[in-house]
Every structure is written in structure tokens, then in C-alpha cells.
Amino acid sequence: MGVNPKAKKVIFLLWILIVPVGMWYTYQTYPPHDADNWVELSAFLLLTVIVATMPIDINNVPIFLIQWITLSTFLSFGLFVEMVFSQIAVIALLLKLRVQKDQYFRFPLNGLMFFIVSLGSGAVFYMLGGQTGVSLVQHPHRLGLAVLYVVLYYVLNQIVLSFYLFLFNGRKVSFFGKDFIVETITTLITFPLGFVLYMLYYQIGLQALLFVGIPFVSVSIIFNRYYSSEKINGFFQKAAEIGHQMAERHEVNGVIDLFIQKLSEMLPVDYAYILETIDDQELKLIRRIEDGEVLSNDLPGLKKNEGIIGNAWVKQKAFLFSSKKEWNDINIGYIHELAESILCVPIARNKKVIAVLLLASKQKRAY
């Protein structure tokens, strides 16, 4: 269940009414220290943006591992700087993910959620006598308050997330569900790293960002590369399984239906068209599926070099488009007006194109 347009407007309005005023209040109540040290602030901000733009992709779900750097920023410069950096991190992440226009509400939504969590946990930390920019190693009480801040941050994040899902998505989720497990694991992994970064920074300065930041970024790159390789191997395995299943079918229509069905399970497909060549002169539509419904094949045929499909036939190469503006000028019929991403592939036998497959999705950058 998606967020309705009215709720999106409310989210934008809440951010405008709460975050700027809250930032001003935070600056006045908990002023930052070392705020004039622009070199070190810039270094922390750069690391924040780098980490934010490198989420770990697991099963097509980006895992945002920014908590450790925001913790170190909070302990080093105070609540206000941590809030500002968190807002910038959210913007950097969503720009990296290239969210679609109808998902722009995620900018103020995530910014508002981070603001509430930061303010709540930070205010309690200061209220209990916590201090930032001080040594933690020689003062167990200070370290204990810093750990309490982490726990509060974690709990508030879960509460705010659950409240959002219930209020705007109508989902009553279990507090100890799958999201809880993922968040718990990332917290246990990343927050200790934040303490290490802060303690090293307090001792040796900016060199700490290199000692901790470079290994973390390297591991993130390696992990994403590994997952991409596993994902590709998974596609190859599924393709082999589809080939075996198709070989068991003896009717042409059965083979085509199975082919489209399996492709739809592997890829986001809203529209699918298969055209076969007729006497090497024309492409004739033999299967047309839109929004999961099989429609009649009464559309006119295509000649060579006509539109995307005709060019794929003649040039014997695949075409990939990420958005409608990339293909709208060369399209000739067939493709639904709501389609964005397109994958058009010629099907060859004995080095001769016998058909052309076109898949389309309403999502941008779906393939």
C-alpha cells in the first residue's frame, strides 16, 4: 500500500514546520564546539557523504550504514552538526538511489525521521550530563552515557519507523519483526566502529578518518561486488532452469507463455511483446501482455528499421533504455504510454533473427 498524495503533502509540510525551527532551537540550546574548524568538519562531511552514497545492496534492498559516522560526528562536534550531516546524508543517499518523482516525499520523510531520532536521543544524553568532545577512555561514566545515547538512538529509530508505517502505510508491524532484526544487526556492527573512530580522532586527529574510513569503504565495495556476482550467477541459474522447462513443452503457445511468465518473475515486467519475422520482410505480433493480461494480437506489423523493435531486428543487437525520454522519439506504436524502462532483445537461431522480444516497465531504471 503506497503513500497517498495527501499524505505526501503532509510530510513535506511537517518537515518545513519542524526541522528548520528545530535546527535553530538545537543550535541555541546545544551549540556546537569546534564549529570554526572547517578542515576537520569538511573531512567528516566528506566521509559522511561517501558512506551515504555506498549503501550495501542485499536482495535489492539498500542497507544504509551511516550510523557509525553520525555517532562519531555527534561525539566530536555535538548534536547540531550531527543533525546537519544526517540531513545531508539522506539527500546524498536518495540522489544515489535516483528515486522517482512520485517518491520525492522520501527526502523530507527520512530527514524528519532522522531529526526526531537525533533530537530525542541527543537531548536525553545532554540532560543526563553527557558531554561531547571529551575523552571517553579515562571516564567510564562518560562512556556509559555514550552507550546509552546509542541505545536511545536505536530504540527511537524503531519507534519512529513503526509509527510511520502504521500512520501513512496503514501497516501494523511487529516491533520485533524482520526490520527489527536487520536494524539490530547493523547497530551491533556499526556503532562500535563509531566509538573506535571517535577515540582515534580524539587521540591522533584527522588521520583516524583514514585508518577507519578507508577499510570500511573498501569492505563495502567488496561486499557489493560479491553480491552483484552472486546476483548474476542467480540469473544464469534461473535461465538454465527456464530452458529445461521450455524444452519439456511441445506447444508453441505453451512455450511462449512459460517464457513470459518466468521473465516476469525475474524482472519487473509490466508490458511484454513478442514479434516473429515473416519471410524476412515484416515483424508480426504473436504475443501481447499488458499489466498481466493477455491481449489480442491485432496491432499492425513492423518493417525493418521501424521503431525500437525494427532497429533491434536489423542491427541484431539489444536496446536498453532507462526512461521514456530516451526512447520516445524513436518509438513507433506498441509500447504503452505509461512505460518508462525498456529492454528490447532480438531472438536469433543459426545467426538469423527469428523474433524480437520487448519488455517494458513503469519504473525508471528497472533493467
Domain CATH code at residue 290: 3.30.450.40
Say what the pLDDT of residue 299 is. 80
Q: Which range (1-5, 99-103, 209-213, 301-305) has the least confidence?
A: 1-5
pLDDT for the residue numbered 1: 44
In DSSP terms, 262 is beta-bridged to: none
pLDDT at 87: 95
DSSP 8-state symbol, 103? G
Same domain assignment for residues 227 and 277: no
In a domain, 169, yes or no: yes
Average pLDDT over residues 284-293: 84
Residues 217 and 274 in one domain: no
- Could you give phi then psi for residue 273, rounded to 5 degrees? -135, 135
Helices (H), 98-204: 106-127, 140-168, 178-204
Residue 21 has pLDDT above 90, yes or no: yes
Residue 324 lies in a domain: yes
Together in a domain, 85 and 156? yes
Q: Please determine, for residue 127, whether its predicted confidence score (pLDDT) is greater than 90.
A: yes
197 and 305: one domain?
no
> Considering only 64-73, 103-112, 223-232, 346-355, which range has the smallest mean pLDDT?
223-232
Residues 214 and 72 in one domain: yes
The DSSP element (H or E) to which 345 belongs, if any, is strand 341-349
Confidence of residue 257 (pLDDT cuts 50, 70, 90): low
Considering the domain architecture, whether residues 121 and 264 belong to the same structural domain is answered as no
Domain containing residue 185: 5-232
User: Taking a C-beta distance cutoff of 8 angstroms, is the pair 76, 198 a contact?
Assistant: yes
Q: Are residues 299 and 335 in the same domain?
A: yes
SS3 61: strand
Least confident window among 19-23, 126-130, 350-354: 350-354
Q: Could you give the number of structural domains in the chain?
A: 2
pLDDT band of residue 76 (cuts 50, 70, 90) is very high
Least confident of 13-17, 116-120, 316-320: 316-320
**Phi-psi sector, 105: left (phi>0), alpha (psi -120 to 50), beta:** alpha
Q: Is the dihedral of CA 245, 251, 253, 256 positive or negative?
A: positive
Establish if 274 belongs to a structural domain: yes
Smallest Cα–Cα separation from 91: which of 66, 119, 68, 61? Answer: 66
Take residue 297 and report the three cell numbers written for it.
Answer: 494480437
Q: What is the pTM of this model?
A: 0.74
- Cα–Cα dist 335/272, whole Å: 9
Residue 52 has pLDDT above 50, yes or no: yes
**Cβ contact 111:20 at 8 Å:** no
